[in-house]
Amino acid sequence: METKQDCLFCKIAHGEIPSKKVYEDEYVYAFDDINPLMPVHTLIVPKVHYDNIGDEVPNDLMGHIFNTVPKIAHLKGIEESGYRVMVNTGDDACQSVHHLHVHVLGGGKMTEDSPAVTHNA
Ligand code: 5GP
Ligand code: ZN
């Protein structure tokens, strides 16, 4: 399986660095963010390394990653109350870990201003 050396999320996805696992299957690993912005803040990462959403991610894998989102929402009990899905990409969006990841945020009321939800603010 393709991993990138010294990539934090490659190591987390393959159990080399501990994390609070929420869900796992053959293609993705989901775990709680270490610095949660909301009561629910889970990250979904592919087990194969891609730098970001623009890194020629195969369609079936991209679909699988996003189809995992409602599963996480169900496991976290926020499917009815709602949730926000965020994919920071590049410098302007403050992407800090360069392994593709999808943030699933919920468990409380968020502002309508989506870009306001950043962990570096
Ligand atoms: P980004 O800013 O790249 O979209 O998001 C990276 C996220 O990874 C941040 O929300 C940050 O809190 C989280 N994060 C960084 N290092 C770790 C870690 O070692 N463990 C976990 N669980 N989350 C991390
Ligand atoms: Zn990686």
Which range among 43-47, 48-52, 103-107, 113-117 shows the weakest confidence by mean pLDDT? 113-117
Mean local confidence (pLDDT), 29-37: 96
Q: What structural domains and CATH numbers belong to the chain?
A: 8-118 (3.30.428.10)
What is the pTM for the complete model shown? 0.95
Residue 35 CA to ligand 1 center (angstroms) comes to: 7
Inter-residue contact 105 to 86 (CB < 8 Å): yes
Residue 56 CA to ligand 1 center (angstroms) comes to: 22
- Does 41 qualify as catalytic in the annotation? no
Mean local confidence (pLDDT), 73-88: 97
